[in-house]
Chains A and B, each alone.
Chain A
Amino acid sequence: MGTIDRLLTRRLLAAYIAVILVIMYVPMVIVGLASISKSRFFLFPMRRTSSKWYEMTWDSLQVHESFLTSLTIAVCVALISVILAFFGALAYARYDWRGRKLFQQVLLIPIFFPQAVLGLALQLWFNSIGIQMSWQSTVFAQLVWIVPIVTLVIAIQAYGYDSAVEEAAYDLGASRWQIFRTITLPLLGPGIFAGFLFAVLLSWGNFPLAYFTSGADVTVPEWLYGKMIGGYTPMVPAVGLITVVLGGIILAVGLTINGMLQRRD
């Protein structure tokens, strides 16, 4: 391969990455534009901009409630899934046991299962065993999907560490609890944190599972869906952009903390 040839390939590939990145963010930009358009229906180029849709959003009790519901669900899901996934990751990546291969494979199924179908199946399930659906049942439904994902995230970290350290500590007379607290937990720390972050964000953006399992409670994506189907108002892009920005802030703060955790080692 000639140098010019190679340079050209490099340029082309870099340009390609740039194009894909732009495409990934086009909808968010459009949603942002639509939210500040003054007219009720989005027309480009926009004649006038206005912040009235944000004011209406701010005053809406429904929106307030849906944000609170979404946030509560996200925090509950993240806390529970991190605990379950921590042990699950050890079983996945560290321990040698008989059912391990099967466990690894079965764990992947809920992740890649069509979510609408999983949501409907859970709805049927809750109805049949007589559970009144509310945000709590949505927490459970999302756990079925998110715990396996968080397990994978922590497992990737668990693959990278040397179990000899634990054994050495055991030789030196450390108790199991001491080993857990001073070695296992800190070594898996970054993975656990990344898993927590994933769980919060995935739950925050999840629609199908919440839609079918939340009963009378309404999450933000559900509220948006209702408005999109039942009658578009520019409050839809306004709320949409707020969730995007909030998600971005959570991600940025999370990554900063994660960076600090990594550097400490």
Chain B
Amino acid sequence: MTEAAIETLTQEPERPRRKILPWKLSEGFVAALPIIILLFIGFIGPMALVLIYSFMPRGSFSIPESPSLENYVDIVEQDFYISFGWSLFLAFISVVILLIACYPLAVALRRVKGRRAHLLTLLIVAPLFVAENIRLQGWVLFFDKGGFLDGALKVVTGLETGSLVNNVPAIVFGICYIYLPFMLFPILLGLGNVPREAREAAYDLGGSRWRVFRDIELPLAMPGILIGSLLCFVISLGAFNEAKFLGKGVIVTVAQDIESAFTFGQNWPRGSALSVLMIVLAGSAVWLAMRRVNLDRMLGKR
């Protein structure tokens, strides 16, 4: 027998997986292709257009003009940083409140077992399917002068609350209410990564409650907490319904500025430039978070 023949005989058989499914390599791309096309036409294209428009002269309604930076200059000169400041402030404070509210809630939900856990989770998700403006209108009727809270309090105690809407705390409350599920679920997923045994072992070794929380629970649940915080930060950065209904104009958020530039203002380039700045802010936050998190492990854990 020649050496070559021996080599072929002793060679490990090709991995059966690949032999059976020879189309495996490119299959993923083919399966993803429809969505990739959708995102190109429906997301990347529009975003590119917004980017181009942001460099067009004020008030232009077509693209081929000589590029300029005047929209960005306008934004700085015409005090648009105030709405950016408000949006950033609202987003930041809402994330902090949601973290404090959702962490214990997630811990509590994790302790519930079986069908009941499913039901509770469902009850918390279900309001997401009701249009935001209906739910916010409900809160307005709850907090307004002569509304549910005011009226009920008057009947029971004789005191009045007056109108509790049209101020910043009401807007923060609205944002926290609307986005609560977006903070809760990532934290729930994150807490799923904390093995029971690790916690129990730590207790057995004499760890205090605080130390177990700080050294075991928190680091292991971190990816979920991080995702939840960033998601809530990003979406509340774009909030405008809350400020419109519960704030009734006490403050103006970036999203409202963008909307009015596109609609009443009829100044597409300015709206575009504002959008670009917001996207850069939001996008860099998401990008940073996603790089540090393994999505396969979070969703597919068994």
Chain A interface (Cβ < 8 Å from any Cβ of B): 1, 10, 13-14, 16-17, 20-21, 23-31, 33-34, 41-45, 83-85, 87-88, 90-100, 103-110, 112-118, 120-125, 128, 140-141, 143-144, 147-148, 151-152, 155-156, 159-160, 167, 170-171, 201-202, 204-208, 220-221, 224-225, 228, 236-237, 240, 243-244, 247-248, 251, 255
Which one of B41-49, B71-79, B163-171 contacts A?
A: B41-49
**What 1/0 flags go to B59-98 for Cβ under 8 Å of A?**
0000100000000000000000000000000000000000
CB–CB A170/B20 < 8 A: yes
Secondary structure at chain A's binding surface: helix, strand, loop or mixed? helix
CB–CB B295/A120 < 8 A: no
Secondary structure at chain B's binding surface: helix, strand, loop or mixed? helix
Q: Which residues of B contact A45 (CB under 8 A)?
A: 151-152, 155
**What 1/0 flags go to B161-202 for Cβ under 8 Å of A?**
000000000000000010010000000000000000000000
Instruction: Identify B42's interface contact among A104, A106, A140, CB under 8 A.
Output: A140
Would you give the shortest CB distance from A73 to chain B, in whole angstroms?
13
Would you give the shortest CB distance from A187 to chain B, in whole angstroms?
15
Most chain A C-beta atoms within 10 Å of own C-beta, residue among B111, B120, B134, B295: B134
| Known contacts A43-B151, A112-B231, A205-B131; A141 and B42 CB within 8 A of each other | yes
CB–CB A122/B129 < 8 A: no
Q: Which residues of A contact B268 (CB under 8 A)?
A: 124
CB–CB A44/B148 < 8 A: yes
CB–CB B127/A28 < 8 A: yes
Give the docked Cα–Cα distance between A114 and B132 (Å): 14
27 A-B pairs with CB atoms under 8 Å apart are: A13-B111, A28-B130, A30-B138, A44-B146, A44-B151, A85-B35, A87-B31, A87-B34, A88-B31, A103-B36, A104-B296, A113-B234, A113-B238, A114-B234, A114-B278, A116-B259, A117-B258, A121-B49, A124-B268, A156-B299, A159-B299, A159-B302, A221-B133, A224-B131, A228-B137, A237-B137, A243-B134
CB–CB A13/B299 < 8 A: no
CB–CB A224/B134 < 8 A: yes
| Known contacts A1-B209, A244-B130; A152 and B38 CB within 8 A of each other | no
Q: Which residues of B contact A28 (CB under 8 A)?
A: 127, 130, 135, 138
Give the docked Cα–Cα distance between A75 and B49 (Å): 30
Which one of B1-9, B100-108, B218-226 contacts A?
A: B100-108
| Known contacts A13-B111, A143-B38, A243-B134; A117 and B278 CB within 8 A of each other | yes
Give the docked Cα–Cα distance between A82 and B79 (Å): 45
CB–CB B255/A44 < 8 A: no
Q: Which residues of B contact A94 (CB under 8 A)?
A: 28
Give the docked Cα–Cα distance between A57 and B32 (Å): 44
Q: Which residues of A contact B130 (CB under 8 A)?
A: 28, 205, 243-244, 247
Would you give the shortest CB distance from A243 to chain B, in whole angstroms?
7
Q: Which residues of B contact A255 (CB under 8 A)?
A: 122
